[in-house]
């Protein structure tokens, strides 16, 4: 009996295990894929949970999140008993790091020296305001920060107090790089002899540092033990301030990040830091900024929300809606993205595995909450997952995934649909809730469904296969292949084509309601559907300047066409039009002539009926 009981228990476990395995295999892709965005815990826990542990009393990777998160540096460099006696663990990377520092500093211009000096001695909150572009002067005026660029004043009655306060909050909440610098004790580039890779213990390599910085700061008197290079404090400070302003003014999100990255690069130009120093400074700022924004229980969280609200109300304007991106914007974005990725990686050779899946740290999605406000937290994590850097770069493969995050790319939407994606936008909330453009090239097997009242523009060269459904609001096709390679369904709202030349739907097209809006700028412009088309709803045609169409102009073509549009409108024209389906083509013609004949026919019928009724009445009178 005991044997039977044991056997039966084992059998039950085996059966249960098999059933569980089958259930996993049969689970929808979205359920399986959800695990890829789960956070990964590090030796110190999660940065978002323990960000306040970055204080000088915590001196180890497991007690201090900043030290622990940067622990990839321990694969390259081992600190010694004194500041100058550390050991190089990866000669190729450390040598390349110092060589890059020498090369970048050695190639600087006089103008760059002036800028490097300015960054050295200007409050970093002021420095990054360049990223605000046309909003910079207005921000200075309405924030109450004064006119002294060596300090950042706060004036609680100022209209932009909260955005200014948020930058200050980020810079003063467990933000110091001192503990990490003390732990890693990595000499600055001006203390390295490049030919021998020896550390200079007396003085420094004078030719590397901007002369005016030496004169004003007196570097020669600084003890190397108190002058660690990794991570860069200026880069950390610049990114902290940039992330804060970017959250408050997401219309300048990418510009703020690029400005911070350029500040970091100027630390190399100045001769003050190496590329790895700068990369480390960006990491600490990214992790801390995200963690503060994700801490919804903090007493300061109400200020976080106020920073965005005031930024929109008093700086940008609540009724200012972002413009739909163009193909020119797409091309510029691609170039800028290359430059930003260079700043993230400095083109170091990969030393780790290159096929490790992306990791998304806990709370990392919070930095995107104002830039992609219409997405859920889960969706924003997918955006970060699909836009992250490849693995293998020195320093960037940390346990949580902070090093591989690319917020510049993430601010421009998904790069892959791993699951079906529903975008529900509420235009009444303004800003990016009302209109946004995704500039990334989107791959994957997922499907995109557009809901809500806002407008979403797809601009990239997209290859996702799941198809597109428009239920409400507006989906704009800016690139010729923006809708991916699947089927397109329109049940409501509007699908708008805004392309010069032929735009393509590689799959089938079905419209049972809503509008199909085609922009015709020149002869030959049309929507080409590679599959079959089932038509209904409304066709709207917008003609470019000087463009005319007649009954021979094909506006839509497909393999086969069934049904027809219920109505046709040509913008700017008072006449009535109708669609004509002939084979696999759709043309339009004036409906006025046919309507006249219909009206005449109706009138004739009425007259005939009236005559018949009159005759009947007369006959009745005669018979009486």
87, 16: one domain = no
Q: What's residue 514's pLDDT?
A: 98
Candidate ranges 18-27, 223-232, 509-518; pick with highest mean pLDDT: 509-518
134, 211: one domain = yes
The pTM for the full model equals 0.90
Is there a domain that residue 500 lies in?
A: yes
Strands (E), 49-190: 77-78, 87-88
Distance CA(468)–CA(474), nearest Å, equals 12
Candidate ranges 205-209, 400-404, 608-612; pick with highest mean pLDDT: 400-404
Is there a domain that residue 140 lies in?
A: yes
431, 546: one domain = yes
DSSP letter assigned to residue 478: -
222 pLDDT higher than 90 = no
Q: Give the CATH number for residue 302.
A: 1.20.144.10
77, 27: one domain = no
pLDDT for 275-299, tens place per residue? Answer: 999 999 999 999 999 999 999 999 9
303, 277: one domain = yes
Distance CA(449)–CA(374), nearest Å, equals 13
185 pLDDT higher than 70 = yes
DSSP-derived secondary structure for 198-248: EEPSSS--GGGS-HHHHHHH-GGGS-GGG---SS-HHHHHHHHHHHHHHHH
Residue 204 Cα distances to 82, 182, 188, 191, angstroms = 17, 19, 9, 5
29, 78: one domain = no
Residue 220: how many CB atoms within 10 A of its CB? 11
25 pLDDT higher than 90 = no
Q: Which domain holds residue 440?
A: 414-595
Q: What's residue 608's pLDDT?
A: 76
Distance CA(201)–CA(218), nearest Å, equals 16
8 A C-beta contact, residue 8 and residue 390: no
Q: What's residue 215's pLDDT?
A: 78
114, 181: one domain = yes
What the block records as the tokens of 57 is 């009393």
- Is the four-CA dihedral 465, 467, 473, 479 of positive or negative sign? positive
455, 570: one domain = yes
Q: How does residue 83 score in pLDDT terms, banded at 50, 70 and 90?
A: confident
pLDDT for 455-483, tens place per residue? Answer: 999 999 999 999 999 999 999 999 999 99
pLDDT for 107-153, tens place per residue? Answer: 999 999 999 999 999 999 999 999 999 999 999 999 999 999 999 99
What the block records as the tokens of 161 is 């107090």
What crossing angle do the helices spanning 253-269 and 275-294 adopt, rounded to 10°? 150
220 pLDDT higher than 60 = no
368 pLDDT higher than 50 = yes
Q: What's residue 34's pLDDT?
A: 57
Is there a domain that residue 77 lies in?
A: yes
pLDDT for 551-600, tens place per residue? Answer: 899 999 999 999 999 999 999 887 889 999 999 999 999 875 555 556 56
Is there a domain that residue 276 lies in?
A: yes
73, 29: one domain = no
End residue of a domain, out of 274, 302, 322: 322
Is there a domain that residue 408 lies in?
A: no
522 pLDDT higher than 90 = no
Distance CA(208)–CA(515), nearest Å, equals 63
In 3D space, the residue among 458, 455, 380, 382 whose CA is nearest the CA of residue 424 turns out to be 455
Q: What's residue 607's pLDDT?
A: 73
8 A C-beta contact, residue 460 and residue 442: yes
10 pLDDT higher than 60 = no
pLDDT for 295-353, tens place per residue? Answer: 999 999 999 999 999 999 999 998 899 999 999 999 999 999 999 999 999 999 999 99
Number of domains, the chain: 3
Q: How does residue 261 score in pLDDT terms, banded at 50, 70 and 90?
A: very high
Residues 6+ positions from 459 with CB-CB distance below 8 Å:
325, 326, 327, 329, 330, 437, 438, 439, 478, 479, 482
Q: What's residue 214's pLDDT?
A: 80
Distance CA(50)–CA(38), nearest Å, equals 18
Say how far residue 506 (Cα) sits from the centre of its chain. Answer: 26
Pick the residue with more confidence: 6 or 339?
339
Q: What's residue 550's pLDDT?
A: 87
């Amino acid at each position: 009996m005991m044997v039977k009981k044991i056997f039966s228990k084992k059998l039950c476990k085996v059966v249960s295990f098999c059933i569980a395995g089958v259930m996993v295999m049969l689970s929808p892709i979205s359920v399986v894929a959800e695990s890829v965005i789960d956070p990964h815990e590090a030796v110190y826990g999660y940065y978002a949970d323990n960000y306040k542990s970055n204080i000088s009393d915590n001196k180890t990777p497991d007690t201090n999140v900043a030290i622990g998160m940067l622990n990839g540096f321990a694969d390259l460099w081992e600190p010694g008993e004194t500041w100058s006696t550390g050991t190089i663990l990866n000669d190729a990377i450390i040598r390349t790091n110092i060589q890059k520092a020498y090369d970048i500093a050695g190639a600087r211009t006089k103008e760059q020296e002036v800028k490097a000096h300015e960054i050295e001695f200007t409050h970093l909150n002021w420095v990054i305001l360049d990223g605000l572009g046309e909003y910079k002067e207005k921000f200075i005026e309405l924030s109450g920060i004064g006119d002294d660029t060596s300090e950042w004043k706060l004036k609680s009655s100022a209209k932009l107090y909260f955005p200014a306060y948020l930058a200050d909050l980020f810079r003063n909440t467990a933000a110091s790089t001192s503990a990490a610098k003390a732990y890693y004790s990595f000499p600055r580039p001006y203390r390295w002899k490049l030919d021998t890779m020896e550390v200079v213990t007396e003085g420094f390599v004078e030719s590397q540092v901007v002369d005016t910085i030496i004169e004003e700061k007196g570097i020669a008197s600084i003890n190397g033990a108190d002058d660690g290079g990794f991570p860069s404090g200026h880069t950390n400070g610049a990114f902290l301030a940039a992330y804060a302003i970017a959250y408050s003014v997401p219309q300048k999100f990418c510009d703020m990040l690029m400005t911070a990255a350029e500040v970091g690069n100027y630390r190399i130009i100045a001769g003050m830091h190496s590329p790895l120093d700068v990369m480390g400074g960006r990491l600490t700022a990214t992790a801390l900024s995200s963690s503060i924004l994700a801490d919804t229980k903090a007493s300061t969280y109400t200020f976080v929300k106020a920073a965005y609200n005031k930024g929109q109300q008093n700086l940008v304007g609540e009724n200012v809606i972002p413009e739909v991106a163009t193909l020119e914007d797409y091309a510029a974005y691609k170039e800028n993205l290359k430059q930003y990725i260079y700043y993230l990686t400095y083109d170091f050779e990969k030393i780790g595995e290159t096929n490790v899946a992306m990791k998304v740290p806990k709370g990392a999605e919070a930095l995107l909450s104002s830039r992609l406000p219409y997405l859920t937290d889960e969706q924003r994590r997918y955006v970060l997952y699909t836009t992250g850097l490849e693995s293998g770069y020195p320093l960037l493969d940390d346990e949580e995934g902070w090093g591989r995050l690319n917020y510049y790319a993430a601010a421009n939407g998904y790069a892959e649909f791993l699951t079906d994606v529903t975008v529900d936008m509420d235009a009444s909330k303004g800003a990016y809730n009302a209109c946004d453009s995704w500039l990334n090239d989107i791959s994957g097997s997922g499907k995109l469904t557009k809901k809500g009242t806002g407008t979403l523009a797809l601009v990239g060269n997209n290859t996702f296969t799941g198809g597109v459904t428009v239920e409400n609001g507006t989906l704009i096709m800016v690139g010729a292949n923006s809708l991916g390679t699947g089927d397109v369904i329109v049940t409501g709202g509007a699908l708008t084509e805004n392309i010069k030349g032929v735009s393509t739907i590689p799959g089938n097209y079905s419209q049972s309601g809503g509008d199909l809006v085609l922009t015709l700028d020149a002869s030959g412009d049309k929507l080409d559907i590679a599959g079959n088309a089932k038509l209904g709803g409304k066709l709207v045609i917008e003609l470019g300047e000087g463009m005319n169409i007649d009954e021979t102009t094909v506006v839509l073509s497909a393999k086969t066409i069934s049904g027809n549009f219920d109505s046709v409108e040509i913008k700017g024209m008072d006449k009535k039009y109708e669609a004509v389906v002939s084979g696999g083509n759709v043309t339009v013609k004036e409906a006025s002539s046919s309507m006249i004949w219909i009206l005449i026919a109706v009138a004739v019928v009425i007259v005939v009926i009236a005559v018949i009724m009159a005759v009947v009445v007369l006959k009745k009178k005669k018979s009486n």
